[in-house]
Amino acid sequence: MNKTVKLPPQITKERLADLYKEMWLIRYFDEKVDEFFAKGMIHGTTHLCVGQEATASGAISMLKDIDKITSTHRGHGHCIAKGGDVNKMMAELFGRTTGYCKGKGGSMHIADVETGNLGANGIVGGGIPLAVGAALTSKMKKEEYVVLCFFGDGASNEGSFHESINLASIWDLPVVFFCENNQYGMSGSVKEMTNIENIADRAKGYGIPGEVIDGNDILEVMNAVDEAVSRARNGNGPSIIEAKTYRWKGHSKSDAKKYRTREEEKEWRQKDPIARFKKMLLDKGIDEKYLDSLQEEAKKTIEDSVEFATNSPEPSLDSLMEDVYA
């Protein structure tokens, strides 16, 4: 793609380099998790966002610290991008007390309320109304934060999506609905499961703006989110951004991927968001050795997180009944 994408003004070269490293953190984290599941070292299930790093990093980079997100079952990238601690994430996947949820939540329920991550969600579409509620608090208490609500293409067929968008629209709430359209639900392709070209077209039905972007181009993601977040922060209500992307791995730990072709997978791999970002950074004159060193650092950080997780204690049976009620 040859178009020149402007950078949002607040973004410095250093910040871009940080984001590059962050994308590698996300990728290495999920690749590690994939490896552990394959070896049977982690229990339960997981949903990996390899190939979708630009949506998490790009979108969340446009938020302020006070802003909040709601995430999905495919939420490791969102958590990392919101400033989550990979040690606590890895420990959670290993079911340890040092994990984000003290070993009680696992991959699908990682939440980091302090950094404004209101949580991954095991219920498809479950987080969308929560984002609306968090935006309502912001409005009622004049807290001036914006909520970035992640959801998938599949989730946009849940009633919760439609009801939430309408509610946010009539109340003018500061929420940005960010659809990570990775082309499939579990196996249902968006082409078969909807009769519209773009999920963002649904915005029209609720009287809010909708925009379609290339979700594998981090700069495009940043620009679109910057605009939508500013609009929301200025009291001009919600909008939908639909980022077209692709999950490289299967839906969850066991998936024969019969619903798509290897050719299609290959095509999308060529649109690797990290490789594309690297090229942009090189074009901006950032030194390749420096970029490679960032990648190495990311890898090491993930290896350290495994060390941290495996050295952490398992929860005691006494903790079973804790935290049911406040």
Ligand X SMILES: Cc1ncc(C[n+]2csc(CCOP(=O)(O)OP(=O)(O)O)c2C)c(N)n1
Which of the listed partners (another protein, ligand X, Mg ion, none) does 43 bind, with a CB threshold of 5 to 8 Å by partner kind? another protein
* Residue 123 within binding range of ligand X, rule CB under 6 A: yes
Q: CA-CA distance, 243 to 25, in Å (whole number)? A: 21
Q: Which of residues 185-204 bind ligand X (CB under 6 A)?
A: 185-186
Is 51 a binder of Mg ion (CB under 5 A)? Answer: no
Q: Return the range that interacts with Mg ion (CB under 5 A); candidates 99-107, 123-131, 138-146, 174-182.
A: 174-182
Residue 117 or 182: the one with the smaller Cβ distance to Mg ion is 182
Footprint of Mg ion on residues 122-161 (CB under 5 A)? 152-154
Least Å from the CB of residue 49 to Mg ion: 11
Query: Residue 310 to residues 84, 107, 253, 279, 299: CA-CA distances in angstroms?
Result: 19, 16, 21, 36, 17
Q: Establish if 66 lies at the interface with ligand X (CB under 6 A).
A: no
Question: Which of residues 124, 128, 218, 274 is near ligand X by CB under 6 A?
Answer: 124
Residues at the contact surface with another protein, assessed by CB under 8 A: 43-45, 92, 95-96, 101, 103-106, 108-109, 121-126, 154-155, 157-159, 185-188, 192-194, 255, 258-259, 314-315, 317, 319-321, 324
The residues in 153-172 that bind ligand X, with binding defined as CB under 6 A, are 153-155
Taking CB under 6 A as the binding criterion, the range among 77-85, 142-150, 179-187, 301-309 that sits at the site for ligand X is: 179-187
d(CA 304, CA 89): 12
Q: How many residues bind ligand X (CB under 6 A)?
A: 16
Structure tokens at 49: 């966002």
Contact between 282 and 28 under an 8 Å Cβ cutoff? The reply is no
* One of 46, 98, 182, 198 touching ligand X (CB under 6 A): 182
Q: Which stretches of the chain bind Mg ion, using CB under 5 A?
A: 152-154, 182
Q: Which stretches of the chain bind ligand X, using CB under 6 A?
A: 47, 72-74, 122-124, 152-155, 182, 184-186, 251
